Amino acid sequence: MGMSRNKTKLELTWIGKDKRPRLEPRILLEDPELSYSAAHKVTENDVFDNMVIRGDNLLALKALEQEYLGKVKCIYIDPPYNTLSADLTYDDNVEHSIWLSLMRARLEILWRLLTSENGVLLISINDDECHYLKVLCDELFGRSSFVACLVWNYEGNTDNQARIINYHEYVLVYSRTGVVDDPSVIDPNIPDSSKLFKPDIRNTVIKNGPKNPVKAVTLPAGFPASFRQGVIRRDDVVYPKYDRDIEVDDGRTIHAVTGRTGWSSRSILQRFIDAGCAPVLDSKGQTTVFELTPTGAIEAVKKRGQKKGHFISVLRGFGTTNQMRLMLAKLGLKFSYPKPVGLISYLIDAFTGPNDLVLDSFAGSGTTGHAVLNLNLEKQSQRRFILVELDASTCFEVLIPRLRAVLDGNAAADIPPHGGGFRVYQLAPSLLETDKWGNWIINRDYNKEMLAQAMCKIEGFRYDPSPTVFWLHGQSTETDYIYVTTQTLTHEQLRVIDSEVGEGRTLLICCSAFRARLDQFPNLTVKKIPATVLASCEWGRDDYSLNVQSVMGEELEEPEPEKPADSEAAASPKKKHTGRTPKMQDLPLFAAVSKEGDQ
């Protein structure tokens, strides 16, 4: 039998893969009592429009999608590592399926948030799911988007007697373009004596081998030398094979000489010679000259640019989780296995610029926010962060107090004042709820502004209410608008609105009901709410966290899972949040982030 011509796709399959959540695009509500700004500015670059979101991270990502699509430069996540099998009573294949579905749904939105200008996704993971996650990411993003698998040596205790001591985790690196900006960091393990810190890069251009056939290059009289004066005997030089002795006076050759050898940069060397031994640019735009050394070798000398970089795939010397635990303890906070802030600062510094936006949707104790604030203070940058945390006790009792301590400074934990601020948001309740007869109605907690904003998000409009035009709540283009009301609109009311909209513009009206002949208003589209949106989402669902029912669609008994011990998402506080949880009707609507310096 001949080979089938049907094209097959390499993919990862699992139980429940075809089941996808139908997410409601919630609005975000700020809690001004929890939002915080430092009492004093530390620098002129202090950033105040950072965001902390408490709620289910899948719903939070959906809430962010419209406004931040393609705007995030770097996403770092430290998701649960799926190390719960000892506490779960169901099949291991089911457990892995749940985890993969949880990750797939979030990764799809995260990828859309990344900027097309080398936006980078960084995922911390360990051996339990790393290789499954790699295949999943390849399927979602394309294998060409994979950049590297970094190994973080976490420098823990190795005094046990295990046959193989697990001493590392991974950081998968994916880019929207498959490439990253040249990292401007230098590995902290590089000694100060390294040539990386010297202003010049010096490398010999002599390279012999099968891929470097021997060719002749003539060095003219006046070719630069790295020494002042002397003679190089041709018989003392192995390569190149020179046709005569070389005399040097005042740092330049006296006579022309021809050398034969294999070359690594012959074309640029020849350009240098043809330019009268004046500096030339290499393929990276580095200013390059060539010099003859006392041994007869020829070196390319390149001027280092201001942006220095030396990034290697094994990450060492960034501190330990235990050191971070002790630092948090000095702040009166408790959290299991926080990532070292130095590690996250290094990664963010490597893959972002000074004004970029950073997102962490598994925020845990807030290490990513701390890292961004550190970079801003050390490098006078203005990076911003968005943090999302599901667990209320972690958010209110660890993450927010930690960020406040970093902004104000804390002598006990040796944290200097960083300045700036952040705003705290929570997800609005579902737009729809059921009444006592089981009918879907608009949530009673929604006021008219919340309803207008929610419908704008659901219909793909930008919420931008006019202070003077009552029917203008938002727009999708310069000529396409939306109006949201709970009224029952009459034919006469629609006629008045239609006349105001006028020719060349269109208006979507979302109302409770209407009595009119719509064919008389070609510029108006009228929809009833909630009927028009009933089929678009899963309403009333607030939890898309790891659970069997969400994937399997079956009524399986699920024990209370223990939080994974090796994830930034694993907070140790078990008590419920005892602080004030704001009522939604008391909160202002989520607006566009403030201008810099708005405290």
* CATH code at position 394: 3.40.50.150
Residue 73 and residue 139 in one domain: yes
Q: Is 466 helix (H, G, I), strand (E, B) or coil?
A: coil
Tens of pLDDT, residue by residue, the chain (599 residues) = 454 556 667 788 988 888 899 999 999 999 999 999 998 889 888 999 999 999 999 999 999 999 999 999 999 999 987 755 433 333 445 578 888 999 999 999 999 999 999 999 999 999 888 999 999 999 999 999 999 999 999 876 777 777 788 889 999 999 999 999 988 888 887 777 776 667 788 899 999 878 889 999 999 999 999 999 999 999 999 999 999 999 999 999 999 999 999 999 899 999 999 999 999 998 878 889 999 999 999 999 988 765 567 899 999 999 899 999 999 999 999 998 899 999 999 999 999 999 999 999 999 999 999 999 999 999 999 999 999 999 999 999 999 999 999 999 999 999 999 999 999 999 999 999 999 999 999 999 999 999 999 999 999 999 999 999 999 999 999 999 999 999 999 999 999 999 999 999 999 999 999 998 999 999 999 999 999 999 999 999 999 885 544 444 443 333 343 434 344 444 333 333 333 333 333 333 333 333 333 33
240 belongs to a structural domain: yes
Residue 282 in domain:
yes
What's residue 562's pLDDT? Answer: 40
Residue 414 included in any domain:
yes
Residue 574 lies in a domain: no
Does 366 fall in a domain?
Answer: yes
Going by C-alpha positions, the residue among 560, 453, 575 that lies closest to residue 510 is 453
Cβ(205)–Cβ(299) under 8 Å?
yes
pLDDT of residue 160: 72
Same domain, 350 and 487: no
The residue from 408, 427, 446 where one domain ends is 427
48 lies in the same domain as 114 = yes
Q: How far is Cα 589 from Cα 598, in angstroms, rounded to an integer? A: 17
Name the maximum alpha-carbon separation found in the chain: 104
Could you tell me if 139 and 159 lie in one domain?
yes
User: Residue 22 corresponds to which tokens in the numbers above?
Assistant: 């139908």
60 and 177 together in one domain = yes
Q: Which of 503, 456, 505 is nearest to 482 (CA)?
A: 456
Q: What is the pLDDT of residue 309?
A: 73
- What is the rounded distance in angstroms from the CA atom of residue 357 to the CA atom of residue 374? 15
Question: For position 198, what pLDDT does the model report?
Answer: 73
| Total tally of structural domains belonging to the chain | 3
Segments in 26-87 forming alpha helices (H):
57-68
Same domain, 242 and 283: yes
The domain in which residue 230 lies consists of 200-303
Pair (209, 186) in one structural domain: no
| Single-letter amino acid code for the residue at 108 | E
Strand partners, 125: 170
Give every CB contact of residue 547 below 8 A, 6+ residues apart in sequence.
Answer: 98, 558
229 and 376 inside one domain: no
- Stretch (H or E) spanning 474: strand 474-477
pLDDT at position 188, please? 83
User: What pLDDT sits at residue 200?
Assistant: 80
Q: Is the dihedral of CA 503, 508, 509, 515 positive or negative?
A: positive
Residue 307: how many other CB atoms lie within 10 Å: 9
- Answer whether residue 7 is part of any domain: no
Do 370 and 34 form a contact (C-beta atoms < 8 A)?
A: no
Handedness of CA 332, 338, 340, 344 (dihedral sign): negative
Task: Verify that 150 and 51 share a domain, yes or no.
Answer: yes
Q: What is the DSSP letter of 228?
A: S
Specify whether 184 is located in the same domain as 213.
no
Domain boundary (256, 287, 303) is at 303
**Where a domain ends, among 494, 512, 533?**
533
Q: Are residues 340 and 313 in the same domain?
A: yes
| pLDDT attached to residue 190 | 79
Residue 580 in domain: no
The SS3 call for residue 135 is helix
- Examine residue 16 and state whether it is found in any structural domain, yes or no: no
Query: Using alpha carbons only, what angle is made at residue 371 by residues 366 and 374, rounded to the nearest 5 degrees?
Result: 130
Angstrom distance (rounded) from CA 120 to CA 134 = 15
In a shared domain, residues 398 and 459: no
